[in-house]
Structure formats: structure tokens, C-alpha cells
């Protein structure tokens, strides 16, 4: 059935000889055409994605169009696109891996209406290249031929338009076949998508930039920078050790001056360099940008410079010369770029006046990227991209939803036997997890963790699944959230609300009644009915024996006194028992070296009109820890289970041990207070952090813990097939295996783990595994994606908090308003200032001791500060400012000072918080709401991992029903385009981008 053809290729070998290679080429009578109009779908074997049937025509882009206008073809509005294999191969060969992966992802994306037609393997579509025919001509001819075939294949029912950039082809083929039109891409956009403005503008810019590139290559290049060396020279140089290969990292705070080349594995071994290489100034950086893989050459030793330790002014003028930099470090210059890190950037256009002042070439605009580390970019023509949110068909089960009898048979019914309850933040909608505890007949205890059975509703590879996978996590911004699953699932069907029947996946342990040792464990699908939906504060009150809160618990309302008493006792016993168990489990982990870390967190409190009412640091309770501990326990046991069942394809979470050198700052700081921190293992670190507690100032311990947190690496998801077993460890939690299982509503990783667990259960029962699991390779790719999304989510969360911090202070006049003055703690010393942490608002920022005019701070007898001429002197743990009059003031590490908070507005970048020291005495807080808290109760960063939903859901609840108009007024944002929408769009762009990065 296959036909054999031969292709003769002439290749040039390394020695310069030509080599004749004969390759076989097999043709088949039918390849999948993926068209709903196909007359013989069985013969074509059209499985998978089909083109939609509601298009007026099919578009077939020529190879050149695919190469140059792929960004436009990515528009979701453009439908019915058929990519010919010939065109795809041209992209692969000429545009490299990145562009090709972009195309592949586009084809894989179920939401985008495009398919690939393997024309070169179809016996009627394949045309051998003729002798003397150029590659380009042959490609165009093949694509046209395939287009004609495709048109006839669909029985001439759907007109086909081939878009090409080749004028000759338009001439030659334009009127050759009826129904197959050949037009230029510009022409196509004009006649079929006149309304799609964004596409037109993008097209124009692409055209223009291409023209420019052509011009530029003809003109002589700019001579400002030395030429990059050719790749062969670089490779040879790297091998011989003359150049050093590494990734360029631009210093965020001194983007104009400082960049470092971080060495990559191999090269650092043979050279005796230990540290990074400093690249000083733009000239030495030689047009490379942040993230590029570069080759650098070391400068002679006498030209070596030191790392600047001064706080950078955001104006970025080079005036570091007066200050003494730290000791010289290896300095070099970039001689060539091995791999570019170009991607899509968010930039700000200059304002109107600036555009005019930029003058003569109005079509070129210098834009400023949002990221400080990226230099200004010159782009051609102005464009406004309007990307639409894609619509997602949601297959919602009919409402009202009921427990089906089949499921009832298959699942264990806990509705009558177990007291199940949930503890969540007040008003939480998406309840992932519930708990139960009871005494068994044999005297043992049974602890149960019941997690929402999301996988029952989300079938693998359904639309919801695909979308959830791309989103990977729910995004929580300071005032709103962006769900991973549609709200019908997240807030209703999957959410384990009180008093209703719900499906769950449960882990139940039988524990010894006294030692709480695990005797047995059971995993499986269940039906539960949560009796109480408690909130943390109420649970804590119950735990403390304060029963007045029962008025706030709706479940107790309609009961008579007697039964209420009985029920209450039952519940209080359960919460008490849980806490007891959690303490035991926690103690066991502590013995292995579990860490308690500190992250600064604030909650934005909004009032009715969404004004920012206050910034409230979070208040930790013991119940938080109880719930968290139960979740950690469940995660740990599930991790063990899925790893045992699928040793090579289980999704686990690892937390690699930190690099010791990152702890040096922590050790130094602790030494200033007379504590010694032993960072050799997680156990010693935990112990020494516990000891490093200044009874008079609890902030010190918090700061040290947060420094320790910063020094650590991030926890990551991984596939067990790609790591050795020793690397599975979770450093922070001190567990050998850990995963995420308990929040499937808001994390995609948990959905994967649920599927794995269910497959493991059916494997144990010797049943056929229904779920098609990911292979190790697929899982690895997925993990990388989820990790990326998580990092992005954390980042956006952080920035959102910063934004709200700024907004909080923006409308307040720092001179008069009481709130803008606060107590701060110095946690790091620089040559011209100090870094200050403000516990009240959770803000960290820099405060200068020397202002732009060169004046230094001085404090009078009333400890008020003023600017005076003078000089600064920096020591290890303190900084002294001496005025010309002879007064001097010294700031030590961990000193409390009074700072004034103001906002520095910026047009191109985000607004930043500015701190100004107004007194060297601690600020007396009028309301001492949080000055002294039990440090043991401070919520740890890692526990946060589990209980994150807590505050986030609370936030979500606070923002529920607000009209958007009000928002615009309140946030002083431009009409019609909120920052949130903007972020959404960025996310949309990023989806494709991130998934592209796999292959690279």
C-alpha cells in the first residue's frame, strides 16, 4: 500500500566534500485530512482534532508566510488554517527549534482551529523536486499542489485560499484552478479580516521590521560596540579556556552598570574561578541582554572592579565612583552570544510629547520594558494588540446535581458513619479538604482526610482539563482570584460544603490510641456529607474551650439545648483530638529537622467600595497548624503510595537542600546579635533558629527566619522517573517523599496526583487501569510547565501585594498622615543606606542615608533627622553618618527606627515604595495590635504551602460583588482597561510562550 520513492540529497560534509545521500520516501494513498467535509473519514483515519465546519474557506499559508507571520496566524479569530507539512519543515529547518515549537504547540492547542496536513506523504500531493529547481520554488509548488488536492478531496465544497508572499506564484497559479485562490497575505487580511485591526497592525510592523532588517544588513553596522565573534571562534575559545561560557544576569538595581556572568557547570571546573564574572558597563556587555548565554573574556587583573554595594538610585547615573566598592572580583567583557534569550516583553510606550521629541523617524519608537533588566527597545510602528480571552465550553452536569446510584455502589459511604467537618477561612467557597476523626471498636483512632473528587468531574483531556492544565494553578492576587476551574466546579460541585452530599477521595489512617502510630492506611473514593463548615477563628475558640462562638456557627442554630450540647461535645472532642494528633506528627517531623520559616505576608482589607481599608499582617492560630499538619500527613502518604505503585511516573514534590554559600548573609546578621546559626543540615538550622531569639525583640527572629527562607531553593514538582531516589527529599518539611494532593480545585498537580492515586488503587485491586497516565517524559514536561506557572503565580502575587501596598500609601500625604509613619527594623547595611523592614505592613525597602545632593542624615537631640553635609562610613554591622559639624549618628543592624513611607510614581515601571528615616528612635505605635506575638505561632512559609487557600479565599470573599466602574475610580486607572485585564492578556501571551520553552 505504500509507494516507495527515492530522494537524492547532496550534502556538504565537514571536510567540504559533497556527499550524495539517497533517502527513501514513502507515500501512502491516504493521510488524515482533519476536515469535517472529508468524504471518506474512515480511510483518512481522522482521529483527534478536526477543523470546525463553520468556516467560509480554508487558508493554506505558504512556507514564507508561516515563517514570517506566525504571530498573526496565532490569532484565535483566524480559523480553518491548514499548515502543510512542507511549510512546517521549512520552519523547522530555517527558523530553528523555538519557532518550530511555537508552531507545534499551536497545532496541539485544541482551542486553535488549525491542523497539519502531511502533504509530502500523500501519493497525489507529493511532487519530487526537479533538477535545477530552487528549494523555495519547489516548496511553493508543493504547497499549491497540495492545496488543489485538498480542495478536490473535500469534493470542491470548500474554497481554499493559499496565501503567499511570492508574486510569481500569484501570477502563475492565481487563476489556474477554480476554487483555489492564490493571494498575498496582506491582500488576504484586507479582504477577509478587515475588522481585525490588531492583525493588520502586527502585519504592518512585521513588514516594516523586515524591510529595515534588509536595509540594515546592507548598510554598515553601527560601530558603537565591538563585533561579536563568530560561533566557531567562540566554541574553540571556550574549549581552550580562553573564553568563559555562562548566563548573563543583570543586576536588577543597577541595570545600566552591573551584570554578572554566572558560570555554567563544565567551564567552571577547569578554570580556577569560583565566583561569577562581573561585566561592568554597557560597552563590556556588548548588546547581550539578561538571560543570554554568552561567552566572556576576562580582563587583565588591574582592570578588575568590585561589586557596588551602594543602593542604586533609580535615576541610574553613574556616580558610584566616589564610593568605595567592595574588593575587586573577576571582571570581563562579552565577546559573543551563544544563545539569545529573546522573548516577549511588556513595555511602556513613551508619552505623546516624548514621541515628538524623539523626532525625525516617527515610526520608530523607543519603548521601556517593564523589567528593569532589559534595555530600552526600539520598535517599529505603534500597535495595540487586543487579544481576546478564549471561550471555554464547559460541560456542566445538569443542575441540581445528585449522587448517582452507580457511584453510590462503587464508593465507600461515610455519610452516616463519620463526623466530617471542614475548617477554612471565613466565607471560603472552594473547600478542598475536610477532616474526620473517630474511635474504632478496637480502641484505635481513625483519622480521615477527605479531599474533593475533582477528577470525577474533570475527564482527562477534556476541554476543562486542557484549560486547567494550561492555567496550572489558581492565581490569587491581593484583591481577586483567577480560577483554574470554572466556578460551577470550584465553588459548588467539587466544593465540600456543609450539609450536602459530595464525592471525595479519602485517606484514612488507623492510629494507635496512645502513641498515634499509623497501623493501617486506606485510600479510596468516598461519599461524604460535611456536618460543619467551621472557620479558623471559631475552631480556635472551641479548642480553647470558649463556647460562646457557637452562636456564629450556623449548624448549631436550629437545635434544642440538649442535642446542641451533645453535638458540641462531639465536635470539641474531635477538634481536640485532631490537634493532639497534629502535635504528635509535627513533633515527629521536628525530630527529623522540619523547619519553621517566616514569610512576610499582609492581607489587603478592602471596604465596601473597594477602597483599601487597611493592610493587615496575618494572624496565625494553632488550628491553622493542625489542619496544615493533617494535609502534610495526607500528602506524604499519598506520595509514598503513588511512588510505590508507579516508581517511574509519579508526580512528587521535592525541596532540594540549599546552597551553603547563600546562608552567609544570614550567619553574618545573626552574629551581629550574638547568635550563631548552624546551617549544616535542616535539623541544626531549625534548632539554631529557635535559639536565635531575642526576648526583647521578636522581630529579630522573624527577620532571621525570613532570611533563611530566602536562602533556600524553591520546592519543585518532578517526575520520579527523572530523579534518583535520594533527590526526592523535601528539605523544609523533612520528609523523604512529598507531593500535593489536598487542593485539586486550585492546583493542577493535585489533579494529576489524584489520577495517579486512583490508578494505583485499581492496580491494587488488579483491575484494569482506566486512566491513561502520563509517561515519565510527558510528566517531566508537565512538571516543568506547572513549576513555571507556579513561579509566575507567586511572582504576580508578590507584585500584586506590592501594588496594593503602593496604592495604600499613594493617596495619603506622607507629611501629615499618621499612618505613613511607622516603625522599621534595619536588616541590611549598604554603603549609602540601609534596608529596612516594616513589620506593620510587611514592607521591605531601602532608606538612603545620603541623598542625591550628597547630604547625609543626622539626628538632633530630639532624634529628629535632617539632611546635612557630611560623610558616611560603613562597617560590618553598622553605618555611621558624620556631618561636617561633627555630629554623628550610627545605625546598627536590627536597630528600630521611625520611617516615613511615601510612593515614588513612575511612568514606565511600577510605582515603588520610598522610605525615609525620620528618627533613629523606635516609633511608638499607638495601637499595639501586633507588636508582641508568640513567635512560635507565627505562620511558617512552608506550612503556608498547605494552608494558602486560607487567606486567599478570604480575600476572594471580600471582593465579591463590586461594580467595575467603581473600581476604576478607586484605583485611578484608565477607563476600559484595567491593570487586571492587562495582566490577563499578558498571561494569554505567556501561555504560548512558556509552553514553547520546553524544547529549549
Partner 1 sequence: MAGLELLSDQGYRVDGRRAGELRKIQARMGVFAQADGSAYIEQGNTKALAVVYGPHEIRGSRARALPDRALVNCQYSSATFSTGERKRRPHGDRKSCEMGLQLRQTFEAAILTQLHPRSQIDIYVQVLQADGGTYAACVNAATLAVMDAGIPMRDFVCACSAGFVDGTALADLSHVEEAAGGPQLALALLPASGQIALLEMDARLHEDHLEPVLEAAARAARDVHTLLDRVVRQHVREASVLLGD
Which residues contact partner 1 by CB under 8 A? 2, 4, 6, 13, 19-28, 32, 92-93, 96-97, 104, 107-108, 116, 118, 120-121, 648, 775, 777-778
Whose Cβ is closer to partner 1: residue 97's or residue 319's? 97
Q: In the bound complex, what is the minimum distance in angstroms from residue 3's beta carbon to partner 1?
A: 9
CA gap 581, 587 in Å, rounded:
10
What secondary structure does DSSP assign to 916-977, as a single string? EEEESSPP--SS-SSSS--GGGSPPHHHHHHHTHHHHHHHHHHTSS--HHHHHHHHTPPTT-
User: Up-side HSE of residue 628: CA atoms within 13 Å toward CB?
Assistant: 24
Q: 827 Cβ partners below 8 Å, 6+ apart?
A: 669, 703, 707, 835, 836, 837, 844, 893, 894
Q: Is 680 exposed, middle or buried (0-12, 13-18, 19+ CB in 10 A)?
A: exposed
Q: In the bound complex, what is the minimum distance in angstroms from residue 124's beta carbon to partner 1?
A: 14
Q: Is 557 exposed, middle or buried (0-12, 13-18, 19+ CB in 10 A)?
A: exposed
Q: Which residues lie across from 329 on neighbouring strands?
A: 305
Chain-centroid distance, C-alpha 708: 22
Residue from 726, 779, 753 nearest 631 by CA:
753
Q: In the bound complex, what is the minimum distance in angstroms from residue 11's beta carbon to partner 1?
A: 9
Q: In the bound complex, what is the minimum distance in angstroms from residue 50's beta carbon to partner 1?
A: 14
Q: In the bound complex, what is the minimum distance in angstroms from residue 92's beta carbon to partner 1?
A: 7
Residue from 603, 422, 401 nearest 489 by CA:
401
Whose Cβ is closer to partner 1: residue 43's or residue 925's? 43
Q: Angle between the 536-543 and 622-645 helix axes, to the nearest 10 degrees?
A: 110
Q: In the bound complex, what is the minimum distance in angstroms from residue 334's beta carbon to partner 1?
A: 23
Q: In the bound complex, what is the minimum distance in angstroms from residue 85's beta carbon to partner 1?
A: 8
CA gap 485, 482 in Å, rounded:
9
Q: In the bound complex, what is the minimum distance in angstroms from residue 780's beta carbon to partner 1?
A: 11
Whose Cβ is closer to partner 1: residue 6's or residue 353's? 6
Whose Cβ is closer to partner 1: residue 58's or residue 516's? 58
**DSSP 8-state class, residue 888:** E
Q: In the bound complex, what is the minimum distance in angstroms from residue 157's beta carbon to partner 1?
A: 24
Whose Cβ is closer to partner 1: residue 48's or residue 860's? 48
Residue 941 and residue 655 in contact, taking contact as beta carbons nearer than 8 Å: no
Where do the H-state alpha helices sit in 273-418? 281-285, 352-358, 405-410
DSSP β-ladder status, 518-529 and 412-413: parallel
**How many other C-beta atoms are found inside a 10 Å radius of the C-beta of residue 230?**
10
Q: In the bound complex, what is the minimum distance in angstroms from residue 779's beta carbon to partner 1?
A: 11
Distances 534 to 381, 552, 555 between C-alpha atoms, Å: 57, 9, 9
Whose Cβ is closer to partner 1: residue 27's or residue 207's? 27
Whose Cβ is closer to partner 1: residue 19's or residue 377's? 19
Taken as a whole, the chain contains a residue count of: 1000
Distances 144 to 61, 130, 979 between C-alpha atoms, Å: 10, 16, 45
Q: In the bound complex, what is the minimum distance in angstroms from residue 84's beta carbon to partner 1?
A: 12
Whose Cβ is closer to partner 1: residue 9's or residue 389's? 9
Distances 834 to 310, 316, 672 between C-alpha atoms, Å: 9, 18, 15
Q: In the bound complex, what is the minimum distance in angstroms from residue 789's beta carbon to partner 1?
A: 22
Whose Cβ is closer to partner 1: residue 104's or residue 987's? 104
Q: Angle between the 776-810 and 979-996 helix axes, to the nearest 10 degrees?
A: 160
CA gap 422, 401 in Å, rounded:
21
Q: Which residues lie across from 878 on neighbouring strands?
A: 892
Q: Which residues lie across from 10 on neighbouring strands?
A: 20
Whose Cβ is closer to partner 1: residue 99's or residue 794's? 99
Q: In the bound complex, what is the minimum distance in angstroms from residue 25's beta carbon to partner 1?
A: 6
Residue 598 and residue 837 in contact, taking contact as beta carbons nearer than 8 Å: no
Residue 322 and residue 850 in contact, taking contact as beta carbons nearer than 8 Å: no
CA gap 279, 299 in Å, rounded:
10
Q: 1 Cβ partners below 8 Å, 6+ apart?
A: 28, 29
Q: In the bound complex, what is the minimum distance in angstroms from residue 736's beta carbon to partner 1?
A: 23
Whose Cβ is closer to partner 1: residue 107's or residue 379's? 107
Residue from 27, 134, 58, 57 nearest 90 by CA:
134
Whose Cβ is closer to partner 1: residue 23's or residue 975's? 23
Q: In the bound complex, what is the minimum distance in angstroms from residue 22's beta carbon to partner 1?
A: 6
Q: In the bound complex, what is the minimum distance in angstroms from residue 146's beta carbon to partner 1?
A: 14
Whose Cβ is closer to partner 1: residue 89's or residue 358's? 89
Q: What stretch of H or E contains 151?
A: helix 135-153
Distances 204 to 102, 197, 369, 980 between C-alpha atoms, Å: 21, 11, 22, 28
Whose Cβ is closer to partner 1: residue 118's or residue 229's? 118
Q: Angle between the 776-810 and 463-471 helix axes, to the nearest 10 degrees?
A: 60
Q: In the bound complex, what is the minimum distance in angstroms from residue 612's beta carbon to partner 1?
A: 48
Percent of the chain that is helix, strand, coil (3-state, to 5): 40, 25, 40
Structure-derived torsion over alpha carbons of residues 220, 226, 232, 234, reported in degrees to the nearest 10: -160
Q: In the bound complex, what is the minimum distance in angstroms from residue 461's beta carbon to partner 1?
A: 15
Whose Cβ is closer to partner 1: residue 8's or residue 236's? 8
Whose Cβ is closer to partner 1: residue 609's or residue 775's? 775
Whose Cβ is closer to partner 1: residue 125's or residue 161's? 125
3-class state of residue 718 by DSSP: strand
Whose Cβ is closer to partner 1: residue 25's or residue 852's? 25
CA gap 328, 32 in Å, rounded:
64
Amino acid at each position: 500500500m505504500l509507494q516507495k520513492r527515492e530522494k537524492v540529497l547532496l550534502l556538504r560534509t565537514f571536510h567540504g566534500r559533497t556527499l550524495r545521500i539517497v533517502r527513501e520516501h514513502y507515500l501512502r494513498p491516504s493521510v488524515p485530512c482533519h476536515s469535517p467535509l472529508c468524504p471518506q473519514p474512515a480511510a483518512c483515519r481522522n482521529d483527534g482534532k478536526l477543523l470546525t465546519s463553520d468556516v467560509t474557506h480554508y487558508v493554506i499559508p505558504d512556507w514564507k508566510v508561516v515563517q514570517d507571520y506566525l504571530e498573526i496566524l496565532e490569532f484565535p479569530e483566524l480559523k480553518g488554517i491548514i499548515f502543510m507539512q512542507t511549510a512546517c519543515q521549512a520552519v523547522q529547518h530555517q527558523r530553528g527549534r523555538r519557532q518550530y515549537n511555537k508552531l507545534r504547540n499551536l497545532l496541539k492547542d485544541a482551542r486553535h482551529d488549525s491542523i497539519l496536513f502531511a502533504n509530502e506523504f500523500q501519493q497525489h500531493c507529493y511532487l519530487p523536486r526537479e533538477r535545477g529547481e530552487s528549494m523555495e520554488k519547489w516548496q511553493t509548488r508543493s504547497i499549491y499542489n497540495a492545496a488543489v488536492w485538498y480542495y478536490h478531496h473535500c469534493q470542491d465544497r470548500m474554497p481554499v485560499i493559499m496565501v503567499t508572499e511570492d508574486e510569481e506564484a500569484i501570477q502563475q497559479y492565481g487563476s489556474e484552478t477554480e476554487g483555489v485562490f492564490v493571494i498575498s497575505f496582506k491582500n488576504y487580511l484586507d479582504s477577509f479580516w478587515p475588522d481585525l485591526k490588531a492583525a493588520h497592525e502586527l502585519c504592518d510592523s512585521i513588514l516594516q521590521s523586515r524591510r529595515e532588517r534588509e536595509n540594515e544588513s546592507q548598510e554598515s553596522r553601527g560601530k558603537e560596540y565591538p563585533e561579536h565573534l563568530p560561533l566557531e571562534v567562540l566554541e574553540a575559545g571556550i574549549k581552550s579556556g580562553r573564553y568563559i561560557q555562562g548566563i548573563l544576569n543583570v543586576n536588577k538595581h543597577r541595570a545600566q552598570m552591573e551584570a554578572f556572568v554566572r558560570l555554567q557547570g563544565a567551564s567552571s571546573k577547569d578554570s580556577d574561578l569560583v565566583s561569577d564574572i562581573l561585566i561592568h558597563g554597557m560597552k563590556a556587555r556588548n548588546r547581550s541582554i539578561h538571560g543570554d548565554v554568552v561567552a566572556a573574556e576576562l580582563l587583565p587583573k588591574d582592570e578588575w572592579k568590585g561589586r557596588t554595594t551602594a543602593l542604586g538610585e533609580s535615576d541610574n547615573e553613574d556616580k558610584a565612583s566616589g564610593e568605595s566598592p567592595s574588593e575587586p572580583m573577576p571582571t570581563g567583557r562579552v565577546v559573543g552570544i551563544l544563545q539569545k534569550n529573546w522573548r516577549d516583553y511588556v513595555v511602556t510606550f513613551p508619552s505623546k510629547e516624548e514621541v515628538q521629541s524623539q523626532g525625525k523617524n516617527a515610526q520608530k519608537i523607543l519603548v521601556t520594558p517593564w523589567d528593569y533588566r532589559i534595555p530600552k527597545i526600539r520598535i517599529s510602528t505603534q500597535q495595540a494588540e487586543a487579544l481576546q480571552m478564549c471561550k471555554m465550553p464547559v460541560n456542566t452536569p445538569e443542575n441540581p446535581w445528585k449522587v448517582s446510584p452507580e457511584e453510590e455502589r462503587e464508593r465507600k459511604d461515610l455519610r452516616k458513619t463519620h463526623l466530617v467537618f471542614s475548617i477554612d477561612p471565613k466565607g471560603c467557597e472552594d473547600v478542598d479538604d475536610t477532616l474526620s476523626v473517630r474511635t474504632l471498636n478496637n480502641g484505635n483512632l481513625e483519622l480521615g482526610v477527605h479531599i474533593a473528587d475533582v477528577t470525577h468531574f474533570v475527564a482527562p483531556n477534556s476541554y476543562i482539563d486542557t484549560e486547567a492544565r494550561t492555567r496550572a494553578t489558581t492565581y490569587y492576587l491581593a484583591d481577586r482570584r483567577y480560577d483554574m476551574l470554572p466556578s460551577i466546579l470550584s465553588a459548588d460541585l467539587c466544593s465540600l460544603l456543609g450539609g450536602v452530599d459530595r464525592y471525595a477521595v479519602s485517606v484514612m489512617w488507623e492510629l494507635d490510641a496512645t502513641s498515634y502510630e499509623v497501623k493501617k492506611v486506606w485510600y479510596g473514593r468516598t461519599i461524604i456529607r460535611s456536618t460543619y463548615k467551621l472557620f479558623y477563628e471559631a475552631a480556635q475558640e472551641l479548642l480553647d474551650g470558649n463556647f460562646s462562638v457557637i452562636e456564629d456557627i450556623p449548624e448549631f442554630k436550629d437545635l434544642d439545648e440538649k442535642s446542641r450540647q451533645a453535638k458540641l461535645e462531639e465536635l470539641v472532642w474531635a477538634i481536640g483530638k485532631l490537634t493532639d494528633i497534629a502535635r504528635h506528627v509535627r513533633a515527629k517531623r521536628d525530630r527529623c529537622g522540619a523547619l519553621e520559616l517566616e514569610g512576610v505576608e499582609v492581607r489587603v482589607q478592602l471596604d465596601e467600595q473597594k477602597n483599601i481599608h487597611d493592610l493587615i499582617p496575618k494572624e496565625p492560630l494553632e488550628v491553622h497548624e493542625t489542619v496544615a499538619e493533617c494535609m502534610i500527613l495526607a500528602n506524604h502518604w499519598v506520595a509514598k503510595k503513588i511512588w510505590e505503585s508507579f516508581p517511574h511516573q509519579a508526580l512528587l514534590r521535592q525541596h532540594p537542600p540549599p546552597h551553603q554559600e547563600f546562608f552567609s548573609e544570614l550567619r553574618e546578621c545573626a552574629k551581629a546579635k550574638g547568635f550563631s546559626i548552624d546551617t549544616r543540615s535542616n535539623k541544626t538550622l531549625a534548632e539554631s533558629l529557635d535559639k536565635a531569639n531575642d526576648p526583647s525583640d521578636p522581630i529579630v527572629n522573624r527577620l532571621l527566619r525570613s532570611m533563611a527562607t530566602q536562602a533556600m531553593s524553591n520546592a519543585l514538582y518532578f517526575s520520579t522517573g527523572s530523579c534518583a531516589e535520594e533527590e526526592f527529599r523535601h528539605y523544609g518539611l523533612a520528609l523523604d517523599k512529598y507531593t500535593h494532593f489536598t487542593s485539586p480545585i486550585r492546583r493542577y498537580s493535585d489533579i494529576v496526583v489524584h489520577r495517579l492515586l486512583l490508578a494505583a488503587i485499581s492496580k491494587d485491586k488488579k483491575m484494569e487501569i482506566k486512566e491513561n497516565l502520563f509517561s515519565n517524559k510527558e510528566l517531566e514536561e508537565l512538571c516543568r510547565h506547572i513549576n513555571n506557572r507556579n513561579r509566575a503565580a507567586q511572582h504576580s502575587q508578590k507584585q500584586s501585594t506590592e501594588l496594593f501596598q503602593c496604592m495604600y500609601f499613594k493617596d495619603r500625604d506622607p507629611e501629615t498622615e499618621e499612618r505613613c509613619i511607622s516603625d522599621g527594623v534595619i536588616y541590611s547595611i549598604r554603603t549609602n543606606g540601609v534596608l529596612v523592614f516594616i513589620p506593620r505592613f510587611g514592607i521591605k525597602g531601602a532608606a538612603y542615608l545620603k541623598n542625591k545632593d550628597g547630604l547625609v542624615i543626622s539626628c538632633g537631640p530630639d532624634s529628629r533627622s535632617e539632611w546635612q553635609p557630611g560623610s558616611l562610613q560603613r562597617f560590618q554591622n553598622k553605618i555611621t553618618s558624620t556631618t561636617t559639624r561633627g555630629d554623628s549618628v550610627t545605625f546598627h543592624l536590627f536597630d528600630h527606627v521611625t520611617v516615613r513611607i511615601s510612593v515614588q510614581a513612575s511612568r514606565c515601571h511600577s510605582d515603588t515604595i520610598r522610605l525615609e528615616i525620620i528618627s533613629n528612635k523606635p516609633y511608638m505605635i499607638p495601637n499595639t495590635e501586633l507588636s508582641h506575638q508568640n513567635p512560635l505561632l507565627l505562620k511558617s512559609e512552608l506550612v503556608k504551602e498547605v494552608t494558602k487557600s486560607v487567606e486567599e479565599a478570604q480575600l476572594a470573599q471580600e471582593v465579591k460583588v463590586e461594580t467595575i466602574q467603581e473600581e476604576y475610580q478607586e484605583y485611578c486607572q484608565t477607563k476600559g482597561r484595567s491593570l487586571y485585564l492587562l495582566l490577563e492578556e499578558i498571561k494569554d501571551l505567556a501561555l504560548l510562550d512558556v509552553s514553547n520553552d520546553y524544547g529549549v
